[in-house]
Amino acid sequence: MRPSVATALRNATRPNHPIPTLQHFLQRARVLALYRAIMRATGRIADARTRAETRSHVRHEFERYRHVDDLSHIRYLLSTGKTQWDSMERYIDGL
């Protein structure tokens, strides 16, 4: 292979962003677990319109912070999300 072709192929398979650390992978798993738990639990909302609005809001909030890379900010967002969800879940269970 010509050097230019080999270089192009090698560069095409490498991402343009840095490779996440182990801590990033662990935090990502925690965030996804919270997201899935919330989405599953919203199925308990009886009113279809309210359920759809809640799911849309949850998705929007998670997408809003999708590209945050700072671990301390991710931990803060995860903690805040859990707290908000706990209070919301009590409301849902009361319905």
Side chain identity at residue 47, one-letter code: D
Per-residue pLDDT of the chain (95 residues; tens, 9 = 90+): 456 666 666 665 666 777 889 999 999 999 999 999 999 999 999 999 999 999 999 999 999 999 999 999 999 999 999 999 999 888 887 66
Name the residue among 63, 89, 77 with its Cα closest to residue 30.
77
Provide the residue type at 8 as one letter. A
Query: What's the pTM value of the predicted model, to 2 decimals?
Result: 0.77
Rounded to whole angstroms, how far apart are CA atoms 34 and 37?
5
For the chain, give the number of residues. 95
Residue with token string 């965030």: 31
Amino acid sitting at position 22: L
